[in-house]
Amino acid sequence: MPYVVGLTGGIGSGKSEVANAFAGMGVEIVDADALSHRLSAPGEAGHAAIIESFGHDVSTPSGEIDRVRLRRLVFADAKARARLEALLHPLIRAEAQRQIGGWRGPYGIAVVPLLIERGGLADIIDVVARSAMSPEEVRAIMATQVDRSRRLAAADDILDNSGAKHDIGALVRDLDVRYRRLATQPLQSH
């Protein structure tokens, strides 16, 4: 299994921006949110499971999942959220592992928004990098996400992307050097 860096952070913390900076350097990326969207598209196993579990009330007239309606439902009802996660998380995990198995570089990035909260792919992550949030973004975190101090405590590396967008590249380059070194070291505790 390749060396896997988990990238996590609260809503609006800039995970996509950081992942894009790594991708721009040729680092392979697996994004749990993108997989969730793809696996819940019409014709996919996740789509059928969602419709079967939640009914056609969560679909649009064209048959796609009404993500706004579903999001409102699951964030208002913990049991509904757990049901949705039970449907999608195994599919996301299997596809993420399949993609990670095909990585060719020394390491890659797994973008997992709820890595700390739900664990999800935690057992295949070698190091966790977390993007920092501004005070406004911290206030915007949904109630289902852990607080900033728990996220920071769980992180091996913290990327403070509260500066200018062009600063992200330098921060990512520094981490890239670190992760390439870690990925090529003999097996040991990271």
Q: Residues 176, 179, 184, 189: what is their CA dihedral angle, to the nearest 10 degrees? A: 170
Q: How many residues belong to the chain? A: 190
Residues 17 and 39 in one domain: no
66 and 125 together in one domain: no
Indicate if 97 and 147 belong to the same structural domain. Answer: no
Predicted confidence at residue 137, as pLDDT, reads 40
Q: What is the pLDDT of residue 147?
A: 59
Residue finishing a domain among 50, 72, 104: 104
For 124-145, give the DSSP string: G-SEEEEE---HHHHHH--TTS
- Are 109 and 185 contained in the same domain? yes
DSSP state of 65: B
pLDDT at res. 159: 81
Please give the Cα distance from 47 to 65 (Å, whole number). Answer: 7
Handedness of CA 130, 133, 139, 141 (dihedral sign): negative
Residues 158 and 56: their CA atoms lie apart, in Å, by 42
Structural domain that includes position 139: 1-27+105-190
The pTM (predicted TM-score) of the whole model is 0.78
Q: Please, what are the averages of pLDDT over each run of 10 residues along the chain (190 residues)?
A: 83 84 95 94 96 94 93 91 93 94 94 69 69 41 51 74 75 90 71
Share of the chain above pLDDT 90, in %: 49
Say yes or no: 22 and 115 in one domain: yes
Q: Are 101 and 128 in contact (CB under 8 A)?
A: no
Provide the pLDDT for residue 189: 47
**Does 179 lie in the same domain as 125?**
yes
Bridge partners of 65, per DSSP, are 59
Number of domains the chain is built from: 2
Q: What are phi and psi of 118, to 5 degrees?
A: -110, -15
CATH at residue 165 = 3.40.50.300
pLDDT tens readout for residues 20-51: 999 999 999 999 999 999 999 999 999 999 99
* Domain final position from 67, 88, 104: 104
Which residue among 55, 82, 104 closes a domain? 104
Same domain, residue pair 114 and 21: yes
Q: What is the helix, strand, coil percentage profile of the chain, to 5?
A: 55, 15, 30
